[in-house]
Amino acid sequence: MNKTENVIKVGIADLHVITVPNIIRTSGLGSCIGVVIYDEGIQVAGLAHILLPNSKLARQSNANPYKYADTAIESLIHQLVANGARKDYLKAKIAGGAQMFQFSKGSNLMSIGSRNTEAVQTQLSDLHIPIISSDVGGNTGRTIEFDPATSKLKIRKVNCEAVYI
């Protein structure tokens, strides 16, 4: 099978769950966070492309739950367990949370990348899911790809070689 035939793509404010032999990818991670949660023994993984830290500020009651750290991570865990993952064996890898634009000092409101990172880290900690590795911050966008067969997260940044964590 050609590698490109089994890559499942995750859009912005979206999530998917996969099993081997599939690979999961998302691109366009600027201030957004890509959260991969996986069960290594079962070889099932999910990826959420999180846009904002908290759903409590959403203006619509029917807002997309995959858009926010607090609701997307819970949805992802629920779908992983429904696909055979064992909650006590879940681990996470995260990437993104860049500061894509420069704002005046003291403008914490616009530091969405760091706010997203903090929200994801807090949510995973509250749910007792360890973050095995991360590549967050900076000012460069990322594309990430996770292979549940190897539990490796491939990270590509603009004008940089890919790294695996």
Domains of the chain, by residue range, sit at 3-164
Stretches in the chain below the pLDDT threshold 70: 1-5, 57-61, 101-110
Q: How far apart are CA 24 and CA 15, in angstroms?
A: 10
Which residue type occupies 157? K
Provide the CATH topology of domain 3-164: 60s Ribosomal Protein L30; Chain: A; (3.30.1330)
Tokens found for residue 36? 């991969």
Q: What is the pLDDT of residue 2?
A: 47
For this structure, is 32 an active site residue?
yes
Active-site entry in 15, 18, 29, 32: 32
Query: Where in 1-151 does DSSP place strands (E)?
Result: 7-9, 14-19, 23-29, 33-39, 44-50, 91-96, 131-136, 142-147
Closest by alpha carbon to 90, among 13, 29, 35, 10? Answer: 35
- pLDDT, residue 108, reads 53
Partnered with residue 23 across adjacent β-strands are: 7
Measured distance CA(75)–CA(107) in Å, rounded: 31
| Calpha distance 47→14 (Å, rounded) | 8
DSSP symbol at 158: T
**What pTM was estimated for this model as a whole?**
0.90
Asked if residues 43 and 22 have their Cβ atoms less than 8 Å apart, the reply is no
Give the number of other Cβ atoms within 10 Å of residue 90's Cβ: 24
Predicted local confidence at residue 62, as pLDDT: 73
